[in-house]
Amino acid sequence: MVIMDIKLDNFYGFNGFHMNLSYPKKIVHSSIEDEHLLGNPNFRYRKVNILMGSNAAGKTTLGKVLMNIFNYLRRNQLSDLSRSISNHSKQANFTIDFVPNGVELYRIVGVFTPSQEMVEEIQDIDLRIYKTKISKTDNYERCAKRLNTMNGSTLSVREIPRFGWYFTYPKDDFYYHDVDAVEGMDKSLYLRILNVVLKTLDSAITDIVEVPDVEDAYIISRGKQKLVMQEESFAISNVLSSGTIAAVDVSKLICSMVEHRNGFYYCDEKFSYIHSDIEKMLLSVMISKLGRNEQFFFTTHNLEIADMNLPKHTFHFLKKRFDGEESYIECIQASDYLKKSTDSLKLAIENDVFGTSPDVSLLNELYDLSR
């Protein structure tokens, strides 16, 4: 599944938000292979999307809105999407262009009618769904133009081909993760990945084995200690580092990518506790495992990621500004600013070329504090 364009208005901090995920020209010798639809090199899409930006800039909530939209489409579960509306007395709307099956571009326009009463959820949504066939020579812009002219009868949700997703958030987050896949996980593959990843993070780990006859349970041997892990929670979690615990989720994500089970992946700040070199290596592994017509979103605060040899169009910077009480999140594309392949993205971030660095001026007060 591939998202091509997102517009959000009045969801979380997103007002008049727009993010486009096509890119203008083919990159020669790109480190990301096949960044276009299978069998259609003109239909270019950003396969890997690295989201950066200050705290509370919208990196996590963007994933949550997408997750809520997908959940509504698949499970007719409107409440989470409705709860992500920022101001219920105003109209909220979203438009999402996506390719669920590699051959058709779908556009879904959802409009929530404002409520006059103070309600927690709005149940009144007007949904319009259009689609157009993607020919062998089409690019996204041409298909989108065709969709722009459609305004008559619309499709029903049931007519959208089935697609999967994999959202994963930091463990302390309320949502944590949401996965929709066609098939179950290959346990032996997962165990192999878990062994490799966890042993890299913690050299004291000697082996990880499955507990027979118990669902989703593993024994981690660490020196003389045996730790039991079931459904990603540990019996003695204070023995393992925060990074090692986070790596369990990362292993699951990698497993899903190897198996191409979900097709759409959103990995939100899972590497806050993991060494930068390991983060870079695992990110490159995940990129290498992405299949045709699949897409990956990855959020991070790690500046070292900007030094990786990835196309500039991979990097997006989210920036929140306030106009009165209303917040506006803007998506700034690195490729709009840095045109030469030799331009250093890391230096550009350090020099705040994208205007997304946090204002730290207020923190100066802390230097003056004393008892």
Partner 1 sequence: MKYNYYYYVEGETEQAILESLKKKGNCIQSGKVEVFNILLRKIPVAKTSVHKPGTVVVLLFDTDIQNSDERVQCLKTLEYNLKTFKASNI
Q: Which residues bind partner 1 (CB under 8 A)?
A: 343-344, 347-348, 350-353, 355, 357, 359-361, 364, 367
As a whole number of angstroms, the distance between CA 72 and CA 76 comes to 4
Cα distances (Å, whole numbers) of residue 125 to 6, 80, 175, 240, 359: 18, 13, 23, 46, 38
Other C-beta atoms closer than 10 Å to the C-beta of 341 total 11
Nearer to partner 1, 125 or 353 (CB): 353
Nearest approach, Cβ of residue 334 and partner 1 (Å): 13
Nearer to partner 1, 116 or 364 (CB): 364
Nearer to partner 1, 28 or 360 (CB): 360
Nearest approach, Cβ of residue 335 and partner 1 (Å): 16
Count of alpha carbons within 13 angstroms of residue 36, beta-carbon side = 18
DSSP letter at 14 equals B
- State CA 162 to chain mean position distance: 19
Nearest approach, Cβ of residue 157 and partner 1 (Å): 42
Nearer to partner 1, 277 or 343 (CB): 343
Q: Which residue is listed with tokens 């959940």? A: 71
Nearest approach, Cβ of residue 359 and partner 1 (Å): 8
Nearer to partner 1, 103 or 353 (CB): 353
Contact 92, 86 (CB under 8 A): yes
192-213 b/e (C-beta count within 10 Å ≥ 16 → b): ebbbebbbbbbeebeebeeeee
Nearer to partner 1, 156 or 342 (CB): 342
Nearer to partner 1, 231 or 368 (CB): 368
Nearest approach, Cβ of residue 324 and partner 1 (Å): 17
Nearest approach, Cβ of residue 344 and partner 1 (Å): 7
Number of H helices, E strands in the chain: 8, 18
Nearest approach, Cβ of residue 368 and partner 1 (Å): 8
- Strand segments (E) across 103-238: 104-112, 125-133, 165-168, 177-180, 205-210, 217-222, 225-230, 233-234
